[in-house]
């Protein structure tokens, strides 16, 4: 569903609020159909807030954005799709582990996507967030 | 007794409850003030009532919840409760019907939840200027929208191929016996009135036509074009005002065009014109078109069945 909307109606994402509203509907749907996913997203938020000088905001294309000193290093959509900013080198080496994929829209960038499917995925997501945080901090 | 008092005290003093109550009281007051200070045509509900007010309701709750350490899942859950209370208030105080509220609920749910998360992000920044700017902008949009004129007309057209001559089809277009087929459109199945039968006073121009709906509602129509075997146009002169969607849409005119395909078949085209009284049209027109289309097909499939018998 998410991929279908992104593919077919992705051009609407630049209209202010449209993506945020869509994400809110997804969040509502998840609360009804898979409430534990919202717990996992909360765990990611809590993990990031423990990292020094991070803030949490709303991502312009819907979801929760994770920043270090105001610079975005990851965001998670309310269907559990975590997008993380790495570089191409890191991306290639992590992709060998077979858990992450190219970013669901920007395939040839340093961004990667990781989908939270179960509770075990949360620790790997935190691991990825830590890598992205460290990378952003060092820049 | 003491326990009840204590529980009540705790509930009233809970930031969660305070946020939800204040948001709903705010929405109620704004709608009351808006309808008394900015009178508009009865039945018209503007974009701001479904978009700006729910978003402000979400922001209000976020302000109450900002220092409570509430998690994202709880914000979502409490926002859903907030939505359900707002929807119930619309049922009791605004007299809206069940189907109407079902149609409006995706807008209310999404904007209240979005408002709560936007509010959470706003209040985390602790930037008063930003907060005041956002709230003022939303209130500004609300006032401008409430003062603006709202008018929206649309036409829906559908066609169907019938294996019968235009003369045969025409007999069932002007008036037809009750429809016996089962409903197959989900809104009709859950109680939205669907067309059942049509009667006509005379088969000529100026005659009165009545379209009878499943719940007994009658649309009074007047034939304004009577081109035998070719074209029938009727204006709707009176229609019921129902708390369900019918209070928010006015069907103005209907038309049947019969096209002879020259091979014993007829293409039957059904057109309907309506005025929509609820905004934003990008949302409600989707519903209005879908409902009109299903009314068309219910009638046209019936005409097909009678003509091909």
Query: β-pairing, A101-102 with A81-85?
Result: unpaired
| Cα distances (angstroms) measured from residue B88 to each of B16, B34, B52, B94, B191 | 18, 20, 19, 10, 19
| Reported pTM | 0.88
Contacts of B111 in chain A (CB under 8 A): 21, 24
**Mean pLDDT computed over B191-197:** 92
- Over residues A88-115, the pLDDT tens digits come to 888 988 888 888 988 888 778 889 999 9
Residues of chain B contacting A56 with CB distance shorter than 8 Å: 121, 124
Alpha-carbon distance B51 to B104, whole Å?
11
pLDDT at B1 over 70: no
- Across the interface, do A57 and B114 touch by the CB < 8 Å criterion? no
Which of A8-17, A36-45, B2-11, B36-45 shows the lowest mean pLDDT across its residues?
A: B36-45
How large is the ipTM? 0.89
Of A25, A39, A58, the CB nearest to B117: A58
First to last CA, chain B: 73
B45 confidence band (pLDDT: 50, 70, 90): confident
Best B114, B118, B134 member to test A by mutation, with max A CBs in 10 Å, is B114
pLDDT at site B291: 94
User: Going by C-beta distance under 8 Å and a sequence separation of 6 or more, which residues neighbour residue A12?
Assistant: A18, A19
Domain that holds residue A7: 2-137
Q: What token pair was written down for B144? A: 């401008």
pLDDT at B51 over 70: yes
CATH code of the domain in which A89 resides? 3.90.1150
Q: For A51, list phi and psi in degrees, rounded to 5.
A: -80, 135
pLDDT greater than 70 at residue B78: yes
Nearest to A21 among B73, B76, B114 (CB): B114
Most B-contacting residue of A16, A21, A55 (CB-CB within 10 A), to test interface? A21
pLDDT of residue B253: 97
Q: Count of domains in chain A?
A: 1
pLDDT value at position A97?
A: 87
Average of pLDDT values for A118-122? 96
pLDDT of residue B246 exceeding 70, the answer is no
To the nearest whole Å, the CA of A32 is away from the closest chain B CA by 9
Q: What pLDDT sits at residue B247? A: 67
Percentage of residues in chain A having pLDDT higher than 70 = 100
Residue B110: list chain A partners with CB under 8 A: 21-22, 24-25, 28
Query: B149 pLDDT exceeds 90?
Result: no
What pLDDT score was predicted for residue A53?
95
Q: How far apart are CA A134 and CA A130, in angstroms?
A: 6
What percent of chain B lies above the pLDDT cut of 70? 95
In whole angstroms, give the CA distance from residue B77 to residue A35. 10
Mean pLDDT, chain B, rounded, equals: 91
For B178, the 3-state DSSP assignment is: coil
Q: How many CB atoms lie under 10 A from the CB of residue B231? A: 16
Query: What's the confidence (pLDDT) of residue B245?
Result: 59
Structure token pair of residue B293? 């289309």
Helix (H, G, I), strand (E, B) or coil at B230: coil
Q: Which of A20, A22, A28 to mutate to test the interface with B (most CBs of B within 10 A)?
A: A28
Location of structure tokens 């009878």: B212
Among residues of chain A, what percentage have pLDDT more than 90?
70
The pLDDT of B116-137, averaged and rounded, is 91
Comparing alpha-carbon positions, the chain B residue that sits nearest to A32 is B77
> What is the C-alpha separation between B233 and B47, in angstroms, rounded?
33
Output Rg (C-alpha) for chain B, integer angstroms: 25
DSSP B176: B
Which of B80, B118, B124 comes nearest A31 by C-beta? B80
Nearest CA in chain B to A39: B73
Residue A38 to residue B117, Cβ atoms within 8 A: no
Distance (Å) of CA B263 to CA B161, B165, B172: 12, 9, 20
């Amino acid at each position: 569903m998410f991929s279908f909307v992104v593919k077919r109606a992705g051009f609407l994402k630049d209209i202010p609020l449209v993506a945020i509203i869509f994400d809110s509907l997804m969040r509502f749907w998840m609360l009804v159909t898979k409430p534990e996913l919202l717990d996992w997203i909360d765990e990611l938020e809590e993990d990031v807030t423990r990292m020094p000088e991070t803030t949490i905001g709303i991502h312009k294309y819907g979801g929760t954005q994770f920043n270090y000193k105001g610079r975005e290093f990851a965001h998670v959509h309310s269907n559990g799709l975590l997008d993380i900013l790495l570089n191409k080198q890191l991306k290639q080496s992590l992709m060998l582990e077979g858990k992450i994929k190219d970013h669901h829209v920007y395939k040839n960038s340093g961004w990667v996507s990781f989908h939270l499917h179960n509770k075990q995925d949360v620790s790997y997501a935190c691991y990825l967030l830590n890598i992205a945080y460290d990378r952003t901090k060092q820049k | 007794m003491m326990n009840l008092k204590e529980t009540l005290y705790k509930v009233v003093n809970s930031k969660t409850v305070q946020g939800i109550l204040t948001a709903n009281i705010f929405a109620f007051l704004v709608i009351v003030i808006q309808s008394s200070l900015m009178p508009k045509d009865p039945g018209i509900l503007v974009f701001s009532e479904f978009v700006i007010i729910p978003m402000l309701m979400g922001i209000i709750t976020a302000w109450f919840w900002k220092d409570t350490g509430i998690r994202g899942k709880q914000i979502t859950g409490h926002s859903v409760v907030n939505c359900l209370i707002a929807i119930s208030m619309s049922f009791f105080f605004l007299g809206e019907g069940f189907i109407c509220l079902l149609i409006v609920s995706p807008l209310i749910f999404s904007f209240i939840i979005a408002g709560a998360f936007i509010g959470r992000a706003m209040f985390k920044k602790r930037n008063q200027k930003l907060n005041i700017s956002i709230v003022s902008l939303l209130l500004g949009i609300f006032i401008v929208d409430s003062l603006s004129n709202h008018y929206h007309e649309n036409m829906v057209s559908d066609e169907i191929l019938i294996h019968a001559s235009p003369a045969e089809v025409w007999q069932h277009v002007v008036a037809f016996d009750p429809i016996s087929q089962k409903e197959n459109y989900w809104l009709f199945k859950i109680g939205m009135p669907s067309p059942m039968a049509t009667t006509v006073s005379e088969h000529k121009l100026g005659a009165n036509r009545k379209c009878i709906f499943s719940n007994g509602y009658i649309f009074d129509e007047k034939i304004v074009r009577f081109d035998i075997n070719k074209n029938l146009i009727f204006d709707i002169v009176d229609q019921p005002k129902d708390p369900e969607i019918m209070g928010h849409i006015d069907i103005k005119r209907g038309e049947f065009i019969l096209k002879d395909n020259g091979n014993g078949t007829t293409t039957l085209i059904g057109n309907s014109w309506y005025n929509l009284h609820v905004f934003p049209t990008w949302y409600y027109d989707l519903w209005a078109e879908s409902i009109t289309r299903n009314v068309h097909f219910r009638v046209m499939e019936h005409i097909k069945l009678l003509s091909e018998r």
